[in-house]
Amino acid sequence: MPTEALQFARENQSRFLAELKDLLRIPSISTLPEHRGDVRQAAEVLAAELHRIGLEHVEVIETSGHPMVYADWLHAKGKATCLCYGHYDVQPPDPLEEWISPPFEPTERNGNIYARGAVDDKGQMYMHVKALESMLHVHQGKLPLNVRIILEGEEEVGGEGIAQFVREHPERLRADFALISDTEMFAPDLPTLCVGLRGMIYTEIEARGAATDLHSGMYGGAAPNPFFALCQVLSQLKDARGHILIPGVYDNVVPPSAAELKAWQSLPFSETEFQQKEVGSSALTGEEEYSVLERLWARPTLEIHGMPGGFVGDGAKTVIPAKALAKVSLRLVPDMEPQKIFELYKRYVESICPKGISLDVRLIHSGDAIVIGVNNPYVKAATAALHDVFKKDTVFIRSGGSIPIVGDFERSLKIPSVMMGFGLPDDNLHAPNEKFCIANFHRGIEALIRFFEKLGGEK
């Protein structure tokens, strides 16, 4: 027999989805200054919703950047306290012309809801809200366990505000464990807990040559070109076999345990299928001496994201730009330290600077890699809840992505995280046509209710 809360969630599926669509219509793009007001509006809408469903101490907490939303319900004496985390900010939607339906007009197609933020992370964060609503509603405003919920608006830009808050006010988020739904399932219908994330440093290299833009005929051949300088520098950061060339960068890399590697080998994964269906390229690249999953989950990588500057309009303009920029990140694995890696990187980049060029190497944001232990009652309750919903054993995976605050939860709050995500590998995170499988939205809510009820000692 499904519990009352589960029944309530089932009866309210279409309302839950309609409300999610309202949230998805708000373009809360944290990185674009012109969307500041939209980010705040999303925070306020969520605060109002947390209040409406019956949580207490609802607060929009200011940070140096975008606000956070906090609420709690702490009256389950003797029961565990869960810290629910999610982010309501989203990535920019460009390139717009690639979207089949507009990014901020949520649209249903073949069982999915398409919109920027559908799965990352509004749709997944909202599952927490709707699971809590279902339980509060059927139990006259009571929950089976204690809950704090914190939603941030800066995850996609590094999460500095929440990191500072956690460091300065750990008591305000005191809990036994954190619950995060911002990761993926390894395959459709395969219940998954994520137990590791890569860390990162995100950097910019600015190259300057001449004092001003120059006519490339009058000066080309004698004046330094900052784009060419960047090409020379960037080409020395990684070799053709995927090895990062920064001296010392691999010094603290901890390989996965034999048991973890063995478990990864039994995951349903085909490198060819991954290459053809997910990546869609003619070949995969990187360190061939490691399996693809190891390369993605347990090895550092260095990537170039964009090189703004110079002339990028239609047609031709013969110019030697005075400056050029490269956006470069490194994904990190345990035990690489972001600050130390940035120093090694900066020193190396400066040491290979071509003549006539000055380089400014800047750190935009950073976060630690994390691997989480699975030997705790929260993970056990999670796998049991997932089994109830999916009728399958849970697989434990790592992910190559980063959620900067998870490291701080472990280090500052000293609590483990349960990363129970319901995204799918083809959900197009950060890309055009982001989607969330509607069935997973509802199954996620059910799994969360069952998880909370198990921890609260109900059936």
Q: Could you tell me which of 421, 426, 417 has the C-alpha nearest to residue 443?
A: 421
Of the two residues 92 and 170, which places its CB atom closer to Mn ion in the complex? 92
Q: Is 394 in the site for ligand BES (CB under 6 A)?
A: no
Q: Is 156 in the site for ligand BES (CB under 6 A)?
A: yes
Minimal distance, residue 77 CB to ligand BES, in Å: 34
Helix or strand holding residue 169 (H, E): none
Determine the Cα–Cα distance for residues 429 and 423; give it in Å rounded to an integer. 9
Determine the Cα–Cα distance for residues 188 and 184; give it in Å rounded to an integer. 10
Sole binder of ligand BES in the list 38, 49, 72, 120 (CB under 6 A): 120
Sole binder of ligand BES in the list 182, 294, 368, 388 (CB under 6 A): 182
Q: Could you tell me which of 46, 47, 51 has the C-alpha nearest to residue 20?
A: 46
Q: Are 120 and 423 in contact (CB under 8 A)?
A: yes
Q: Is 427 in the site for Mn ion (CB under 5 A)?
A: no
Q: Which residues, 6+ apart, have CB-to-CB distance to 64 below 8 Å? A: 160, 161, 164
Q: Which residues pair with 419 in a beta bridge?
A: 180, 194
Minimal distance, residue 156 CB to ligand BES, in Å: 5
Q: DSSP E strands: which ranges in 279-391?
A: 301-306, 319-320, 323-332, 358-367, 370-371
Encoded one letter per residue, x for contact with Mn ion by CB under 5 A and - for no contact, window 179-218 reads ---x------------------------------------
Tokens 């006259």 label which residue? 140
Residue nearest to ligand BES (CB): 401
Q: Is 120 in the site for Mn ion (CB under 5 A)?
A: yes
Q: DSSP E strands: which ranges in 102-166?
A: 107-109, 112-114, 146-152
Sole binder of Mn ion in the list 49, 72, 121, 154 (CB under 5 A): 121
Q: Is 49 in the site for Mn ion (CB under 5 A)?
A: no
Sole binder of ligand BES in the list 300, 367, 407, 456 (CB under 6 A): 367
Of the two residues 226 and 423, which places its CB atom closer to ligand BES in the complex? 423
Sign, CA torsion 45/48/52/54? positive
Of the two residues 56 and 278, which places its CB atom closer to Mn ion in the complex? 278
Of the two residues 256 and 423, which places its CB atom closer to Mn ion in the complex? 423
Encoded one letter per residue, x for contact with ligand BES by CB under 6 A and - for no contact, window 30-69 reads ----------------------------------------
Q: Residue 152 — φ and ψ, nearest 5°?
A: -110, 160
Q: Could you tell me which of 126, 131, 101, 137 has the C-alpha nearest to residue 22?
A: 126
Q: Residue 270 — φ and ψ, nearest 5°?
A: -120, 120
Which segment (46-54, 178-186, 242-250, 440-448) binds ligand BES by CB under 6 A? Answer: 178-186
| Residues near Mn ion, by CB under 5 A | 120-121, 182
| Residues near ligand BES, by CB under 6 A | 120-121, 155-156, 158, 182-184, 200, 365, 367, 399, 401-404, 429
